[in-house]
Amino acid sequence: MSATKRFAVIWLAASLAGWVAPAHAQTPTGAPNQAAPTQHAAPTATPALPPAEEVTATEPGASPIAPAAAQQAAPANGQPVATELQQVGGMKIPHDLSPIGMFLAADWVVKGVMIGLAFASLVTWTVFLVKVIEIAAADRRAKKGLSALVASRSLEDARSILEGEKGAVPVFVAAADAELAYSGDALSPEGVKERVASHLSRLEAQAGRRLTIGTGLLATIGSTAPFVGLFGTVWGIMNSFIGISNAQTTNLAVVAPGIAEALLATAIGLVAAIPAVVIYNVFARAISAHRAALADASAAVLRLVSRDLDRLPGRRLHAAAE
């Protein structure tokens, strides 16, 4: 027999002993079921309690029952307390304090904040993966194009080496070649160089802006996610205080779940914001380094243009002499 069943049998025996003994003391004959109404109805039932105690004390089987009932009375009275902790003032208190359990038990506003922050975190890592691949490919192409420009002696050599390649450097070479073709027989080489330099600077800025696409989201998430999480925390704490007021208790079991749900919103906000800020700073440095490489490539193209322009008068004089 389990401890619960044993306690139930002892408690039932003690209760029957406490009710049946006074009935036998007052009515020697009669059924026990009729003794209880007679005891409540008769005004002389109250003075009969002391004799009942004497009878209970003199009986050999009654003495171990009363102490056992007294010892087991405390746990029996403590059972409704656990039920009260589970539901106080009509408010169900969650016992699952895992992140998923707290999310499911949270208010709909706090849930919306958590879902938005989780989506922001997903956007952060998506941008991270895309930009890592994009910046790595752009750096590889820029280094390859710069090596080709350094190895070239003229703009035509660079164009032949970079033919079929992708990236910003082949675009620079094509733009410089097109500007030379548009200039034709211009009398001022300095004017041609200025126009080529202006065009290359615009292409360089365009290539840099292309790499910054998506980093603005990281800056926005990094700066706003903590405050959005703080809003969810404030809202959750307000609901916790409202629940405390409705339950009319400050028991920690009532207060703790609501506050934990509220703080979970701030935690998710920090989880979304901290990686966004770190990734944004890493990308800012990488894009700055890539822009420096593009500036070197632009300067190399401009040197090739200047070299070709300096050779052009000699070629013209040689052609005129022939």
**What are the extents of the domains in the chain?**
3-88, 99-321
Q: What is the CA radius of gyration of the chain?
A: 44
Helical (H) or strand (E) element with 50? helix 49-58
Q: With a threshold of 0.85, does the pTM exceed it?
A: no
Q: Report the range out of 94-108, 134-148, 239-253 with the highest average pLDDT.
A: 134-148
Q: What is the pLDDT of residues 281-293, one digit of tens each?
A: 999 999 999 999 9
User: If you average pLDDT over every residue of the chain, what do you get?
Assistant: 73
User: What six digits make up the tokens of 42?
Assistant: 């008769």
Q: What is the pLDDT of residues 265-275, one digit of tens each?
A: 889 999 999 99
Q: What is the pLDDT of residues 199-232, one digit of tens each?
A: 999 999 999 899 999 899 999 999 999 999 999 8
Q: How far apart are CA 165 and CA 168, in angstroms?
A: 10
User: Given a cut of 60, is residue 163 above it in pLDDT?
Assistant: yes
- What pLDDT is stored for residue 18 in this prediction? 52
- What pLDDT is stored for residue 6 in this prediction? 56
Q: What is the pLDDT of residues 87-119, one digit of tens each?
A: 544 445 555 667 787 778 777 888 888 999 999
- Integer angstrom CA distances of residue 285 from 48, 78, 200, 273, 282: 95, 64, 22, 19, 5
User: Given a cut of 80, is residue 158 above it in pLDDT?
Assistant: yes
Q: What is the pLDDT of residues 24-38, one digit of tens each?
A: 444 444 443 443 444
pLDDT band for position 131 (50/70/90)? very high
User: Given a cut of 80, is residue 21 above it in pLDDT?
Assistant: no
- What pLDDT is stored for residue 90 in this prediction? 47
Q: How far apart are CA 266 and CA 186, in angstroms?
A: 66
User: Given a cut of 80, is residue 150 above it in pLDDT?
Assistant: yes
User: Given a cut of 90, is residue 280 above it in pLDDT?
Assistant: yes
- What pLDDT is stored for residue 32 in this prediction? 39
Helical (H) or strand (E) element with 91? strand 91-92
- What pLDDT is stored for residue 270 in this prediction? 94
Q: What percent of the chain has pLDDT over 70?
A: 64
Who wins on pLDDT, 23 or 277?
Answer: 277
Q: Which long-range contacts (CB under 8 A, 24 or more apart) does 205-213 make?
A: 207/138, 207/168, 207/171, 207/294, 208/287, 208/290, 208/291, 208/294, 211/131, 211/134, 211/135, 211/138, 211/287, 211/290, 212/287
Q: If 0-12 CB within 10 Å is exposed, 13-18 middle and 19+ buried, where does residue 189 land?
A: middle
